[in-house]
Structure 1
Amino acid sequence: MKNDDQNEDLLFFQEMADVQKLSDNNQVVYLKNQHKTAKAQDPELTQPENILTTGFLDIVECTTPLEYKQPGVQQGVLDKLRQGKYPLEASLNLLRKPVETCRQELFSFFLQAQAHSLRTLLVVHGRGRHDQSHANIVRSYLAKWLKQLDQVQAFSVAMGKDGGAGACYIALKKSAEAKQENWERHAKRSR
């Protein structure tokens, strides 16, 4: 019995000998199947000017959860988003980064999400202990910036498993291509 355990351990270590640790500095994680990405243009080549502003900022109190929906978006969409019922397709980590870096990375992340027709995103911004903390400043800017992006339908504080008050879910509008696919799928059913 003991010899079998030793053999299993030896086999395990032989199989794992060439395994290397993944890099810890990944900023963007894509979770969606990338089969359609060949059609999408590279956003780096045609990246428009960053529209996110860093001017006047209304500080969002630490106790106030981030939450917003565009006019015309049903309350059920926001409720499902808040409950984490939409599958996350990508995430961005903004922890401990300067505000300007956060602004640039968020805009680039948003363009990439649009290029890949992603709908549900997670942004980790951190949680401050007081209203003037760096994490709460980034969080307040994030609330401002997301409202400046027309494609953002809604955003809400994340569930505990995804970062809780230190993260937020973002729901994007469907791309024109996704709307067309949806229309065609439903048109075939109605025939």
Structure 2
Amino acid sequence: MSDEESNLFRTSIGDTRPLPDNGKTFFPPHLPWPDLRRNRTDTNPLPADALSDYIPQELTETGEEFFFQRPGVAPLTMKRLRRGHWGIQAELDLHGMTSDEARASLIEFLDECKQLGLRCVRIIHGKGLSSRNREPVLKLKTASWLMQRDEVLAFCQARPMDGGSGAVIVLLKVARR
């Protein structure tokens, strides 16, 4: 610090005097940051691509369009996704796959999309017309799996021209470069 800066500082603080020295020094405790992702004693954590088949209650079929958006995703973003604001950059078709095959394909597809920096993709899960009870098994599982992936910001049912109730449009995080 120059003499001029030192004098300016002294004049700005005015008439002050130092606190008496009691010989004690106070250091705030150093607290570690919490590790919310996993328990530190866990020696065998789940792999990053382990996706549960659990279907949350909010995804059960109500006859209405279903959608998902992470906390912090603006309503305008969801509106734009529904209206097809972003062009579809890639597509995955899960027709005819078993649940395990579909899960593995979805994981591989999302990893590749993340690596390529894709923003908006379509996943075709089908309407379930060929399934045992004519129910869309992969539809609900796909939605559940997408909700478990951190790179998925939001998804919604595709517009009729993009697959309707047999597909979802997914908005992905783009990695900062």
Distance 1:168 1:56 in 2: 16
Which protein has the bigger helix share?
Answer: 1
Letter in 1 for 2:68: Y
User: Structure 1, unaligned stretches of length 5 or more?
Assistant: 1-47, 178-191
Contact 2:88 2:122 in 1 (8 A): yes
1:127: how far off? 1.0
User: How far, CA to CA, are the matches of 1:133 and 1:170 in structure 2?
Assistant: 27
Verify the 8 A CA contact 2:91 2:122 in the aligned structure 1.
yes
**In the alignment, structure 1 residue 164 sits paired with structure 2 residue 164:** yes
Q: Distance in 2 between matches of 1:139 and 1:51?
A: 18
Q: What is the correspondence of 1:72-91 to structure 2 with a 5 Å cutoff? A: 72-91=72-91
Aligned pairs, number: 130
For normalisation by structure 2, the TM-score amounts to 0.66
User: Whole-Å Cα distance in 2 between the matches of residues 133 and 151 of structure 1?
Assistant: 32
How big is each residue's C-alpha offset from its partner over 1:116-151, in whole Å with a ceiling of 9 and x where there is no partner? Answer: 00010000001136x984661111111111110011
Normalised to the residue count of structure 1, the TM-score between the two structures is: 0.62
Deviations 1:23-46 (A, max 9, x none): xxxxxxxxxxxxxxxxxxxxxxxx
Q: Is it true that 1:113 corresponds to 2:105 in the alignment?
A: no
Residue by residue over 1:89-128, the C-alpha shift from the partner in whole angstroms, topping out at 9 and shown as x without a partner, is 1000001210100000000000000000001000000113
Alpha carbons of structure 1 residues 117 and 103: separation in structure 2 relative to 1, 3 Å: same
Q: Do the aligned partners of 1:57 and 1:141 also contact (CA within 8 Å) in 2?
A: no
Shift of 1:153: 0.6
CA distance in 2, matches of 1:174, 1:164: 25
CA distance in 1, matches of 2:50, 2:134: 22
Counterparts of 1:95-114 in structure 2, within 5 Å, are: 95-114=95-114
Residue matched to 1:154: 154
**Structure 2: segments with no counterpart, 5+ residues:** 1-46
Match of 1:71 in 2: 71
Give the Å deviation of 1:51.
2.1
Q: Tell me the equivalent position of 1:32.
A: none
Q: 1:69 to 1:49 in 2, by over 3 A?
A: closer
Structure-2 residue corresponding to 1:52: 51
